């Protein structure tokens, strides 16, 4: 759920009303005010999301203690969701009571504490000790005065692969043996060349270059921004190295040239158009949604050792008229119990490090992925993470590089020309 998905699933905007009736206990839709005996005011809370976060059962849990609250979920396409929120905050109208903000965009909003309710005012700063420090800090305003969001998940990295296609190519299929094939990205490319040489009919080694580029950049100590929020994409050698390695994948014929989350990419997951793809925890849910069949995909370690891709915060725009109830909903949606549940149901890796040693998470295996020990795989990745400074336009910068690599894949530009064009595009957006 959550997850810098500038290349996230393209979901049509829908409205989903959840839990209009009280859950259990006689079916009343009012509650008594404490000590007064009077019915509580009926309240409608809107929740703005960019995909299915699998929150519906948690809404019903919330209604057990807030039976006067109706929850209406609004979903929009990933980019539309975030650009609409910018407009809504600027115009002072249209924002949901609770909004999901993905990690690539959260820095767009942390300079604007006047546009959001301060979660400290509702006691949620008591949760700080539960969180990964870097995840907590992502939700704090730039001036440190306000807590603007609580984290739902993080995106510990792995590599998903198709054992059936590996077998046809004469490569190992056991996940531990597969992980040994590629401790580095250079060795991943060499493995890809062996796969390509086997000419497994109709299948490329990997889906496309963009997500690999992103993973490599996000594994580096510094990404697109330095510690002072200066854009350093043009001068950071790790960004250029990631671009050049991605071009090597293209030149070696390893890419299926598919944009992540596009309809052909979704079809390719189910039909076996490619054998590997970068796989943050939440993407295992995306794979399952395409229904490729149980055991079709398995999970190995990602080259380069660990990393994070994506994750989300829940925030309260000041336009919301019921911040007390909305803050209580955020508290429940991000609780320990909820994060365990969402990990099992939606592969949303918790933001609470204590859960990485909780057997419910650490020992969890997923039968859909050949009983892969996803708890260990993804928590190991999260533990090894050294987070980067994320600036306000990171999503736009990544898109510029993703577009550049697509131009190379499609033969529209040579690599150096496309790199230069990406830097020009970034100059316009920073």
> Facing residues of 47 across strands?
73, 98
Given a cut of 70, is residue 36 above it in pLDDT? no
Q: Mean pLDDT score of the chain, rounded to an integer? A: 88
Are 254 and 189 in contact by the 8 Å Cβ rule? The answer is yes
CA end-to-end distance (rounded Å), the chain? 27
Are 50 and 82 in contact by the 8 Å Cβ rule? The answer is yes
Residue-wise pLDDT tens digits, 319-359: 999 999 999 999 999 999 999 999 988 889 999 999 999 99
Are 2 and 105 in contact by the 8 Å Cβ rule? The answer is no
Q: Which residue has the tokens 């009280």?
A: 22
Are 406 and 259 in contact by the 8 Å Cβ rule? The answer is yes
Residue-wise pLDDT tens digits, 4-24: 443 333 323 333 333 333 233
Q: What tokens were used for 10?
A: 């393209």
Measured in residues, the chain has a length of 430
* Other beta carbons less than 10 A from residue 201's beta carbon: 8
Report the chain's C-alpha Rg in angstroms.
22
Given a cut of 60, is residue 2 above it in pLDDT? no
Confidence bin at 430 (pLDDT 50/70/90): low
Are 310 and 282 in contact by the 8 Å Cβ rule? The answer is yes
Which residues lie closer than 8 Å to 42 by C-beta, 6 or more apart? 29, 30, 68, 69, 70
pLDDT score recorded for residue 15: 33
pLDDT score recorded for residue 335: 98
Q: What is the mean pLDDT of residues 77-98?
A: 94
User: Which residue ranges form the domains of the chain, and what is each CATH number?
Assistant: 14-155+310-362 (3.40.190.10), 159-309+377-429 (3.40.190.10)
Q: Reduced to 3 states, what is the DSSP secondary structure of residue 18?
A: strand
Q: What tokens were used for 173?
A: 């299929």
In 163-223, DSSP assigns E strands to 204-206
Instruction: Report d(CA 219, CA 138) in Å as an integer.
Output: 18
Instruction: Report d(CA 205, CA 166) in Å as an integer.
Output: 9
Residue-wise pLDDT tens digits, 162-186: 999 999 999 999 999 999 999 999 9
Q: With the C-alpha atoms ordered 23, 26, 30, 33, is the resulting torsion angle positive or negative?
A: negative
In 253-348, DSSP assigns E strands to 274-278, 298-300, 308-315
Q: What tokens were used for 64?
A: 């057990």
Given a cut of 70, is residue 219 above it in pLDDT? yes
pLDDT score recorded for residue 392: 81
Instruction: Report d(CA 430, CA 425) in Å as an integer.
Output: 9
Confidence bin at 41 (pLDDT 50/70/90): confident
- For residue 48, which of 76, 68, 9 has the smallest C-alpha distance? 76
Q: Which residue has the tokens 């960019």?
A: 50
Cα-Cα-Cα-Cα torsion 223, 229, 230, 235, nearest 10 degrees, comes to -10
pLDDT score recorded for residue 38: 57
Beginning with the edge strand found earlier in the chain, give each strand of the sheet holding 274-278 in spatial order: 204-206, 274-278, 159-161, 298-300
Residue-wise pLDDT tens digits, 359-400: 999 999 999 999 999 988 888 877 777 778 888 888 789 889
Confidence bin at 241 (pLDDT 50/70/90): very high
C-alpha distance from residue 69 to each of 18, 26, 49, 313, 361 (Å) = 10, 16, 19, 22, 31
């Amino acid at each position: 759920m959550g997850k810098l998905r500038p290349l996230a699933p393209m979901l049509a905007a829908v409205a989903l009303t959840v839990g209009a009736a009280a859950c259990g206990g006689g079916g009343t839709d009012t509650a008594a005010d404490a000590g007064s005996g009077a019915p509580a005011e009926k309240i409608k809370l809107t929740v703005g999301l960019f995909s299915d976060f699998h929150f519906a059962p948690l809404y019903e849990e919330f209604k057990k203690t807030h039976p006067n609250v109706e929850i209406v979920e609004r979903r929009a396409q990933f980019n539309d969701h975030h650009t609409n929120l910018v407009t809504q905050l600027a115009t002072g109208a249209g924002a949901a009571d609770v909004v999901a903000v993905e990690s690539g965009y959260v820095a767009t909003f942390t300079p604007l504490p006047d546009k959001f309710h301060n979660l400290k005012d509702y006691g949620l700063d008591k949760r700080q000790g539960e969180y990964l420090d870097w995840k907590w800090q992502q939700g704090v305003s730039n001036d440190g005065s306000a807590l603007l969001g609580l984290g739902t998940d993080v995106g510990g990295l792995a590599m998903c692969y198709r054992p059936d296609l590996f077998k046809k190519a004469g490569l190992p299929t056991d996940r531990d043996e597969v992980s040994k094939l590629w401790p580095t990205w250079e060795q991943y490319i060499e493995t890809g060349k062996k796969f390509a040489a086997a000419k497994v009919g109709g299948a490329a080694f990997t889906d496309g270059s963009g997500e690999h580029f992103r993973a490599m950049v996000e594994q580096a100590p510094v990404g697109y921004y330095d510690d002072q929020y200066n854009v350093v994409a043009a001068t950071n050698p790790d960004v250029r190295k990631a671009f050049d390695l991605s071009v090597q994948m293209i030149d070696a014929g390893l890419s299926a040239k598919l944009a992540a989350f596009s309809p052909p990419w979704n079809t390719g997951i189910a039909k076996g158009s490619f054998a590997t793809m970068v796989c943050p925890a939440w993407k295992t849910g995306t794979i399952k949604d395409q229904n490729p069949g149980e055991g079709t995909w398995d999970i190995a370690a990602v080259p380069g050792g660990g990393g994070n891709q994506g994750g989300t915060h829940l925030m309260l725009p000041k336009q919301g008229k019921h911040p007390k109830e909305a803050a209580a909903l955020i508290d429940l949606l991000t609780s320990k119990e909820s994060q365990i549940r969402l990990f099992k149901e939606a592969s949303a890796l918790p933001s609470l490090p204590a859960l990485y040693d909780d057997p419910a998470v650490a020992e969890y295996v997923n039968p859909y992925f050949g009983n892969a020990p996803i708890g260990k795989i993804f928590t190991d990745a999260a533990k090894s993470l050294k987070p980067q400074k994320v600036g306000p336009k990171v999503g736009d910068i990544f898109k510029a590089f993703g577009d550049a690599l697509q131009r190379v894949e499609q033969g529209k530009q040579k690599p150096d020309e496309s790199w230069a064009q990406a830097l020009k595009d970034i100059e316009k957006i920073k």
